[in-house]
Amino acid sequence: MKRLVIALLLAIGLAANLHAQSWPSKPVRMVIPYPAGGAIDVSGRRLVEDLGVELGQSIVVENRSGANGIIATDHVAKSVPDGYTFLFSTLAAHAGNAWTMKTLPYHPINDFAPVTVINTVPLLLVVHPSFPAETVPDIIRLAMKKPGEINYASFGTGGMAHLAGAQLELLAGVKMTHVPYTGGAPALAALLGGHVHCFFSGINSALPHVKAGRLRAVAVSGPTRSKALPDVPSVAETFLNYEAGVSPAVWFPARTSHPVIDRMYAAIVKVINTPKFRQAAERDGEGDPSGITPAKMADLVKSDIERYAALMKAAGIHRE
């Protein structure tokens, strides 16, 4: 019996290695939980430009927006763990949903196999040109005069744009109104149309509108100014401890074989460290490549769930 068990284990290991050696033998799907045109979509599409070349197969981008990313995330969690479907989302959304929702159709840790974090994309606080505020102190003064009347868009309840606004409210001691949308692109469209006053947008998707004069950049959410907008101050110049950003990351469904995870990890790290990727990320105001190991990413997801839960409790963000 013992020999039979050993033989079975060896056979399973051999099959996994053979699968990894032949993987991928067909196109791979990248599932993004937000509409096309938002900050995460921009980051994901930049990654797959060369990731497909590195893997020797095309990567098909599939945008499945809705329910603050839960629809797409659940789809990946329940996909066959063969390496042909992976999730491209953010640490904040993944961890945030674990707190904001009383029940999830998946487990944020047990149902996924982390691969790596790409980088960190600072948020850019932008306003419509008609809005009478050019600085963070201007927005705070308006919010103090008109409690609850200044509204800010987000790409979903509990997402980083929501947390960025909530954190500003906490530090400034003001009350604004949160208006959630199904993604960064719809939120930007609402701001461009004058339907909301401000939005903590992913810097990469807001930059073209700022340069064209359609939006005004007020501040970046990182601890320092962005190289892409050196004249725009950081929120931290007003509130020392302020920092917010989205970290795009990759997950496979749980039970995906370790050799496939390792190969995907190695391919991503190679792509994000190329001069081409680094230069494009810097041009769009994004941070340096991360490329942490799957094990470190797993630890980071766990700690982020705890960290965002504490922030949401302090901000009074309740479970739905």
Q: Which of 209, 230, 245 is the last residue of a domain?
A: 245
CB-CB contact of 127 with 172 (8 Å):
no
Are both 234 and 137 inside the same structural domain? yes
Are both 114 and 159 inside the same structural domain? no
Q: Which of 245, 260, 292 is the last residue of a domain?
A: 245
Are both 19 and 94 inside the same structural domain? yes
Q: Is 193 helix (H, G, I), strand (E, B) or coil?
A: coil
CA-to-CA distance for 311 and 291, rounded, in angstroms? 26
Q: What is the CATH number of the domain that holds 156?
A: 3.40.190.10
CA-to-CA distance for 139 and 197, rounded, in angstroms? 10
3-state helix, strand, coil in the chain (%, to 5): 45, 20, 35
Give me the pLDDT at residue 156, please: 82
Are both 114 and 9 inside the same structural domain? yes
CA-to-CA distance for 61 and 41, rounded, in angstroms? 9
Are both 236 and 126 inside the same structural domain? yes
Q: Does pTM surpass 0.85?
A: no
Q: What is the CATH number of the domain that holds 104?
A: 3.40.190.150
DSSP string, 147-180: TTTSEEEESSTTSHHHHHHHHHHHHHT---EEEE
H or E stretch at 218: strand 216-220
Q: Which of 212, 245, 278 is the last residue of a domain?
A: 245
Range of the domain at 197: 122-245
Q: Is 86 exposed, middle or buried (0-12, 13-18, 19+ CB in 10 A)?
A: buried
Give me the pLDDT at residue 312, please: 81
Are both 263 and 224 inside the same structural domain? no
**Residues near 17 by beta carbon (within 8 Å), at least 6 away in sequence:** 259
The total of structural domains in the chain comes to 2
CA-to-CA distance for 138 and 134, rounded, in angstroms? 6
Are both 193 and 254 inside the same structural domain? no
Task: Give domain status of residue 320, yes or no.
Answer: no
Task: Give domain status of residue 52, yes or no.
Answer: yes
* Four-point Cα dihedral 307, 293, 93, 119, nearest 10: 100
CB-CB contact of 94 with 179 (8 Å):
no
Give me the pLDDT at residue 13, please: 47
Are both 278 and 189 inside the same structural domain? no
CA-to-CA distance for 283 and 121, rounded, in angstroms? 12
Are both 208 and 133 inside the same structural domain? yes
**Sign, Cα dihedral of 131, 134, 136, 140:** negative
Neighbours of 320 (CB within 10 A): 12
Q: Which amino acid is at 231?
A: D
Per-run averaged pLDDT (10 residues), the chain, 320 residues: 48 48 94 88 92 96 90 97 97 85 91 96 93 96 96 88 92 94 91 96 91 96 88 93 90 98 98 94 86 96 88 75
4-10 long-range CB contacts below 8 Å, 24 or more apart? none
What is the maximum alpha-carbon separation in the chain? 78
Give me the pLDDT at residue 11, please: 42
Q: Is 39 helix (H, G, I), strand (E, B) or coil?
A: helix
